[in-house]
Chains A and B, each alone.
Chain A
């Protein structure tokens, strides 16, 4: 029973899950976020503009679902935080230390703050335009550019790009 819309949703699952993981860094929560995203996408199907890229639309739904989840869980006192700090054991303390090198760029991304991770994912990995990323994250394009530039500089330091 798969029309093109459902097919597109299915195809985007891995990308959605990767973006979800970059936000919450927890596999189970990432799965839940992806599921919520698909549910909302199906219900809001009529609001999708067929002239735009479906992934940008889906990422936006996912990001909003994450914000809702954090809001809900903050009042319940569990440990999700939109403005979380890097929490990779052992690497965190040295995150700013240029001598600590990462072999994997993706691993290095994990040490960056959320607002930098998400924009890196959207632009450099998912290849969204600055304007599309601005729309997904609901911030001005200038903010996308400054976050992205800071993220890329930090990343370059951490993987040893001169």
Chain B
């Protein structure tokens, strides 16, 4: 082949200054010889120029967002200050410190007592009052739903709360775990992961989101924490529909 083929990509890369000298030379020669190449080159150049020209009109960042971010940066700055002088030096890689930013700490109830505490009993009488926060996980109906409902499904419990099953996971010891979201009538919502233990489902982590934003996202940072927890527990990859079905089918028969 005596001549590089003038693909659109190559012509564009020239327009964007992405080519080395010899390739660039080839495009220049081709453009001089072939009006079609020249036309394409103009198109690529002009699209970029017009985009860049309009790009200067950045949509403004709302005061609300600016303040949210300023608070996070403030909290972060204080954390750094307490520990070291290094926050003066830009971009200096620090040794990894595990900490929850204070904004996150405020928005999360990490249910540390769960492993020993609440078990999701498979049956029984519903609680008199709809429980709130992490205590909501004591609702005995949850267990039955987790043993049967497939991910993506949701159901309304006797308490009026909605249970959305988000995903299923299998941990390294082949224990089935399920991520779900429990929304009480008052907008309180708990995202939790519970794993099989005997006939019970035992919550391993629970994140209570505030009632201020019913029907919207849990605080951004709390979902983040959940992701981190999932991956650290070897539960990064949800089961497929079929695998989930199989896993649910093998559970103890309904009582």
Show the binding face of A for B, using Cβ within 8 Å. 1-6, 8-10, 13-15, 17-18, 21, 27, 31-32, 34-36, 38-40, 42-43, 45-48, 50, 68-69, 72, 75-77, 104-106, 109, 120, 123-127, 129-130, 142, 145-146, 148-149, 152-153, 155-156, 159, 161-162
Q: Does B94 lie within 8 Å of A46, measured CB to CB? A: yes
Q: Does A9 lie within 8 Å of B166, measured CB to CB? A: no
Q: Does A3 lie within 8 Å of B59, measured CB to CB? A: no
Partner among A3, A13, A72 whose Cβ is within 8 Å of the Cβ of B69: A13
A117 to chain B, nearest CB (A): 11
Q: Does A68 lie within 8 Å of B58, measured CB to CB? A: no
Q: Can you give 24 A-B contacts (C-beta < 8 A)?
A: A3-B77, A3-B80, A3-B87, A6-B76, A17-B59, A18-B58, A27-B62, A31-B65, A31-B68, A32-B220, A34-B69, A39-B72, A39-B103, A39-B224, A50-B92, A75-B151, A75-B152, A77-B154, A106-B55, A127-B52, A146-B9, A149-B44, A156-B47, A159-B47
Cβ contacts under 8 Å, A104 to chain B: 54
Interface check B170, CB cutoff 8 A? no
A-B contact sample (17 more), CB < 8 A, given A39-B101, A105-B54: A1-B81, A3-B87, A4-B91, A6-B73, A9-B69, A10-B70, A15-B58, A18-B59, A31-B62, A31-B64, A35-B68, A38-B69, A38-B72, A77-B154, A105-B50, A129-B18, A152-B43
State the CA gap A146–B167 with chains docked (Å): 35
Cβ contacts under 8 Å, A127 to chain B: 52
**Among residues 219 to 236 in chain B, which have CB atoms less than 8 Å away from a CB atom of chain A?**
220-221, 223-224, 227
Q: Does A1 lie within 8 Å of B77, measured CB to CB? A: yes
A110 to chain B, nearest CB (A): 12
Q: Does B91 lie within 8 Å of A50, measured CB to CB? A: yes
Q: Does A3 lie within 8 Å of B224, measured CB to CB? A: no
Partner among B13, B104, B223 whose Cβ is within 8 Å of the Cβ of A72: B223
Interface string of B92-121 (1 = CB under 8 A from A): 111110000101100000000000000000
Cβ contacts under 8 Å, A130 to chain B: 13, 16, 18
A-B contact count (CB 8 A): 161
**Among residues 17 to 47 in chain B, which have CB atoms less than 8 Å away from a CB atom of chain A?**
18, 39, 42-44, 46-47
A76 to chain B, nearest CB (A): 6
Look across to chain A and name the residue whose beta carbon is closest to the beta carbon of B88.
A3
Look across to chain B and name the residue whose beta carbon is closest to the beta carbon of A48.
B91
Cβ contacts under 8 Å, B88 to chain A: 3
Interface string of B230-244 (1 = CB under 8 A from A): 000000000000000
Look across to chain A and name the residue whose beta carbon is closest to the beta carbon of B48.
A124
Q: Does A109 lie within 8 Å of B166, measured CB to CB? A: no
Look across to chain A and name the residue whose beta carbon is closest to the beta carbon of B16.
A123
Most buried by A among B42, B54, B74, B154: B54
Q: Does A145 lie within 8 Å of B9, measured CB to CB? A: yes
Look across to chain A and name the residue whose beta carbon is closest to the beta carbon of B18.
A130
Look across to chain B and name the residue whose beta carbon is closest to the beta carbon of A52.
B91
Look across to chain A and name the residue whose beta carbon is closest to the beta carbon of B10.
A145
State the CA gap A48–B91 with chains docked (Å): 7
Interface check B60, CB cutoff 8 A? yes
A34 to chain B, nearest CB (A): 6
Cβ contacts under 8 Å, B42 to chain A: 161-162
Interface check B123, CB cutoff 8 A? no
